[in-house]
Amino acid sequence: MIKKNADMEREVRDRMRGGAGSVEFLHIFRKEELTGKARLFAKLRLPPGSSIGFHTHDGEEEIFYILSGEGEVRESDVPDHVGPGDAVLTGGGAGHSIANTGTQPLDLMAVILVS
60 part of a folded domain? yes
Q: 88 - beta bridge partners?
A: 64
96 within a domain of the structure (yes/no): yes
C-alpha torsion sign, points 25, 28, 33, 39: negative
Range of the domain at 40: 8-114
How many domains does the chain fold into?
Answer: 1
The whole-chain average pLDDT of the chain stands at: 96
Mean local confidence (pLDDT), 33-43: 95
Instruction: Report the alpha-carbon distance of residue 23 to residue 33 in Å, rounded.
Output: 22
pLDDT tens for residues 55-78? 999 999 999 999 999 999 999 788
- CATH code where residue 82 lies: 2.60.120.10
User: Do 64 and 109 meet the contact criterion of CB atoms below 8 Å apart?
Assistant: yes
Query: Can you tell me the mean pLDDT for 38-57?
Result: 97
User: Average pLDDT in the 42-67 region?
Assistant: 97
Question: Does the residue 1 lie in any domain?
Answer: no
